[in-house]
Amino acid sequence: MQEFLEVTTFIGLSLYQWITLIIIAISAYFILHTLWRIAINKLSKVSAGTEHKFNNTIAEVLGSTQKITLALFALLIALQFLELPERWETRLSHLTFFVIGIQIALWISKSITIWSSVQLLEKEGQVPNPVITSMLSWILKVAIWSIVILAILSNVGVNITAFIASLGVGGVAVALAVQNILSDLFASLAIGLDKPFVIGDFVVFGEVAGSIERIGLKTTHIRSISGEQIVCSNTELLKNIIHNYKRMSQRRVEFKFGVTYDTPATTLAKIPDIVKSAIETSDRTRFDRAHLKGFGTSSLDFEVVYFVDSSDFNLYMDTQQAINLYMINEFKKLDVSFALPTTNLHIRSLESAKTQ
């Protein structure tokens, strides 16, 4: 029976060798799988309820190990116990390099994914920057997989120098074909680096006014005041002058009003002080100036400037309303009337016209 097992061959291995290979491979797989589960459980228990983020990260990375990878490792271990023909030794070496390279790439890719997820979580007092994080994550993953693939090709004997040169020529052609997409990608990178706005900022550009909801690799999503979502290309967005109201430390307010021409000069001199008192009734405002600016067609025009120490638009409107009501009450006490657009029509008698 043993002679039959030793004589019967398949691809250079006898049936006895195949049985030995299968038994060792299955045993090695169960051992590797058991050690893998023990390592993950041990790291998970250590990091549970604590701030051992490093251990937790290692556990997640190890958890991404593919079972087929463990099976291939078990097979490679079993093959080491057999005397293989020389051509199979070379193939085994290539297969070992391939399995190790792919698994390392998977581990690094998982680590990059975990890092990007952590970076995108909003921390206290900070706003996450999804653009830079997504771009770096994408670039790192492409670089890792490119290196691994090129290393595998080089290991099996492919001339990667010519291959890289051909990729360079093809890359130029692809870049020309997708130049609009690449333009948006670089625009998103510029947004991430320069940070003209972040998620949650209220911006105005052109005819668009709304809050930034999402900054993507190609487009930016804005929730407008009227409620609809506006999707704008990053390239087109950066071509506009952007007003970011979220970053205002204070709001400069300028308003004008007019009083009638029959207002006495002594009363006119009191109006700047009344306006100043109206502005200073709020502890969120700072008075700057109030002047009789000029003579209008039907009014004596005043110009007022003050500051609100907040970017909140509703606070500004409440403050302006309180100032207006205060002025109306005080002007009524002084018998001062706000000017309305009027036209005086002078009619001369017929006799007066004849004398001229």
User: Mean pLDDT score of the chain, rounded to an integer?
Assistant: 78
Q: Where are the domains of the chain?
A: 184-246, 248-333
The answer to whether the CB of 210 falls within 8 A of the CB of 225 is: yes
pLDDT (0 to 100) of residue 1? 44
Angle between helices 86-120 and 67-79 (to 10 degrees): 150
Which residue in 116, 40, 36 sits closest to 71, CA to CA?
Answer: 36
H or E element, residue 165: helix 160-177
pLDDT in tens, 255-264: 999 999 999 9
If you write DSSP's letter for every residue of 258-280 in order, what string do you get? EE-TTS-HHHHHHHHHHHHHHHH
Collect contacts of 88-94 with beta carbons under 8 A, ≥24 apart: 88/11, 88/12, 94/155, 94/156
- Indicate the DSSP class of residue 309: S
Q: What is the pLDDT of residues 9-60, one digit of tens each?
A: 545 556 666 677 778 778 877 887 787 777 777 766 665 555 556 666 777 7
pLDDT recorded at residue 15:
67
Structure tokens at 303: 């110009």
- Between 26-35, 165-174, 190-199, 245-254, the lowest mean confidence (pLDDT) is in 165-174
Architecture of domain 184-246: Roll (2.30)
Q: Are 205 and 237 in contact (CB under 8 A)?
A: yes
With 50 as the cut, is the pLDDT of residue 125 above it? Answer: no
Pairing of strands 9-10, 219-224: unpaired
pLDDT confidence bin for 61, thresholds 50/70/90:
confident
Question: How large is the average pLDDT for residues 324-349?
Answer: 83
**pLDDT at position 128 over 60:** no
Pick from 88-102, 158-172, 182-196, 215-229: least confident: 158-172
CATH entry, 248-333, from 3.30.70.100, 3.40.190.10, 3.30.70.20, 3.30.70.890: 3.30.70.100
Q: Is the pLDDT of residue 158 over 60?
A: yes
The pTM for the full model equals 0.49
